Every structure is written in structure tokens, then in C-alpha cells.
């Protein structure tokens, strides 16, 4: 069966899953989205993802035409409908169709789209040997412009940085905020290990507050590590004992090189490996 895409209450074959060219989601990137994972038929941190979706929508004054409970049920339903157990789920809410002007009041019918797909992870050898990243020249969006805490349909800021990474032969790129502090990567949050302590930029550094980031901070604390949210600079990355990234698609992936500097011993460190193992167990644990 061809994958079935949910659009505002109905399912469509992939080829017929279409949105109007007048939708402000397309015309202006006016909308919000989520990337979610299901493991063994269970959606990981569904409530948290739904909450972040509604917070993103609230921040752009977009009224999602269903309740949080209906949204959660629709996401679960889309997995079941497609007969998937392990899946990547993309939820998109657009502003809806309107006239060719910016004014969101001129739009009607916000669209809710749920796409379910097989997961495509980074190649397995990168989890074993670690990623190489570069720092992008593109600054992460200023929080007073498009706040990175909003997971909006306008991802050009991240795409521009990603292009720099690709050009340098890297699959991820580090983004600094307008103050030159470490913010996050184009689609992942960043963590460093220094003196055995786990460090990550705070939410006001201009980052998306990753659901995986929170899950990893919680499980690291449960495992007895000290975890601190603090301002970090590139120097801290270059001199870190260990570095790893977190994200829904990436899970937890080691970084062994940044801007041509070898990080730590140049191989995934013991804390990174330990946390990755714990994360693997967490996502497969019933009732987590």
C-alpha cells in the first residue's frame, strides 16, 4: 500500500497529498511543524511534541483547528493507519490559503498534515566513529526576529548553515548566536563534556529546546552525572573532552572534530557512549 498522508481529517495516497499553492505555509513559511519518532509502535514523548507544536503555534498566533488530545490521537492514528512500528512522523500546521499578501487575517483553513515515513538515520559508522562538523558563518536567528524556540516552517536560517556544512564535507554545522556564543547545530542540539561535567547551552542562547536534549539531560542526571546549562563559546568546543549532538532523527551522535580541531581523543568518549546506550534503552522501555 502506498503511504497514506493525513491532511485535515482525511487520508490521501502520497501522490495525491496536496496543499494549495495559495497556502501561506508555502508562500511565506507561515506555519509550524514537529518531527517525532515511534519505536516499536509507541510514539516517543508524544505529549511533549504536541505541547511544543502548540507553543510554536501560540507564538505565531496560529490557532490549530483541533485540541491537543485530538492531535495526539491523529498522530497515533497515522502510525496505525500506515501499519508502522518504527517511524519518523512529520506534523505540519500551515496558516492556510489566502491572498497574495502577508496579512495572516486574510487566510482561511489552516491545514494539519501528518506524514509518516521510515526512519533515515545518519550512517551507522558515524555513531561508532563520530561526526565532523564545522562552524557556519550564518548566525542563528536573533530571538527578537524569528525566535529559534519556534519550530516554524521557515527553516532557511538552518538551511543556509547546512549548505555551509555540506560544502565543507560535513553533515552537520554548528551555529553561533548573535553574541557569538554556541547555540546549536542546524537540526540538533549540542552537548560538551568538560572535567566529567555535561554542558549544553541554555534555552536563551537562541536554540530550539530539543525534546531529545531534555530526555538526555534527565537520563544523564539519573545516571549520576552533573549536567549544566551554561553559555559556551567555540573555545569550549575545541577544548572539550567529548562532544555529542541530540535530535529526534539523530538520537545521540558523537562529534570528534570541529573546524579541523580534534575533540578529546578523536574518538567517541566514554560518557557519550554510556549516554547513547542509555538512550537506546529509554526509547524502547515500555511506559517511558
Q: Does 29 bind ligand PMP (CB under 6 A)?
A: no
189 binds ligand PMP (CB under 6 A): yes
Q: From 108-116, 207-215, 223-231, 258-266, give the range in contact with ligand PMP by CB under 6 A.
A: 207-215
By beta-carbon proximity to ligand PMP, the closer residue of 4 and 212 is 212
Alpha-carbon distance of 51 to 70, in angstroms, equals 12
Under the binding rule (CB under 6 A), the answer on residue 38 touching ligand PMP is: no
Would you say 143 or 187 has its CB closer to ligand PMP? 187
Distance separating alpha carbons of residues 32 and 77, to the nearest angstrom: 20
Nearest residue to 126 (alpha-carbon basis) of 255, 227, 278: 255
CA distances from 224 to 218, 219, 241 (A): 10, 9, 18
CB of 195 to ligand PMP, least distance (A): 25
Pattern 53-82, ligand PMP, x by CB under 6 A: ------------------------------
Cross-strand partners of 262: 257
Active site residue 179: no
Query: Buried (b) or exposed (e) across 60-99, using 16+ Cβ within 10 A?
Result: bebebebeeeebbebbbebbebbebeebbbebbbbbbbbe
DSSP class of residue 3? -
138 touching ligand PMP, by CB under 6 A: no
141 binds ligand PMP (CB under 6 A): no
Please report, as residue ranges, which positions from 227 to 286 form the binding site for ligand PMP (by CB under 6 A). Answer: 246-248
What is the size of the binding site for ligand PMP (CB under 6 A)? 14
Q: How far apart are CA 104 and CA 203, in angstroms?
A: 28
Pick the catalytic residue from 10, 14, 106, 151: 151
Q: Which of 96, 143, 187, 206 binds ligand PMP (CB under 6 A)?
A: 187
Distance of alpha carbon 203 from alpha carbon 196, whole angstroms: 22
By annotation, the residues acting in catalysis are: 151
Amino acid at each position: 500500500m502506498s503511504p497514506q498522508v493525513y491532511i485535515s481529517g482525511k487520508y490521501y495516497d502520497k501522490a495525491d497529498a496536496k496543499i494549495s499553492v495559495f497556502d501561506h505555509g508555502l508562500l511565506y513559511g507561515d506555519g509550524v511543524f514537529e518531527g517525532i519518532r515511534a519505536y516499536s509502535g509507541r510514539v516517543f514523548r508524544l505529549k511533549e511534541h504536541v505541547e511544543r507544536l502548540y507553543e510554536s503555534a501560540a507564538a505565531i498566533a496560529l490557532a490549530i483547528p483541533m485540541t491537543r488530545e485530538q492531535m495526539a490521537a491523529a498522530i497515533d492514528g497515522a502510525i496505525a493507519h500506515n501499519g508502522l512500528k518504527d517511524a519518523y512522523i512529520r506534523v505540519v500546521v500551515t496558516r492556510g490559503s489566502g491572498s497574495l499578501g502577508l496579512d495572516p487575517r486574510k487566510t482561511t483553513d489552516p491545514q494539519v498534515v501528518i506524514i509518516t515515513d521510515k526512519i533515515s538515520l545518519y550512517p551507522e559508522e558515524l555513531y561508532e566513529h563520530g561526526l565532523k562538523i564545522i562552524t557556519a558563518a550564518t548566525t542563528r536567528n536573533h530571538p527578537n526576529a524569528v525566535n529559534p524556540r519556534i519550530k516554524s516552517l521557515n527553516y532557511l536560517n538552518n538551511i543556509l548553515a547546512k549548505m555551509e556544512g555540506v560544502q565543507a564535507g560535513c553533515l552537520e554545522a554548528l551555529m553561533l548566536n548573535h553574541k557569538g556564543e554556541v547555540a546549536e547545530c542546524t537540526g540538533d542540539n549540542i552537548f560538551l563534556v568538560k572535567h566529567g561535567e555535561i554542558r549544553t547551552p541554555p534555552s536563551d542562547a537562541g536554540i530550539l529546546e530539543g525534546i531529545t536534549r531534555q530526555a538526555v539531560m534527565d537520563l544523564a542526571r539519573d545516571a549520576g552525572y552533573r549536567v549544566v546549562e551554561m553559555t559556551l563559546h567555540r573555545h569550549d568546543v575545541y577544548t572539550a573532552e567529548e562532544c555529542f549532538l541530540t535530535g529526534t532523527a539523530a538520537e545521540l551522535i558523537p562529534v570528534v572534530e570541529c573546524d579541523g580541531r580534534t575533540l578529546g581523543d578523536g574518538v567517541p568518549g566514554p560518557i557519550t557512549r554510556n549516554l547513547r546506550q542509555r538512550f537506546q534503552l529509554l526509547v524502547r522501555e515500555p511506559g517511558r
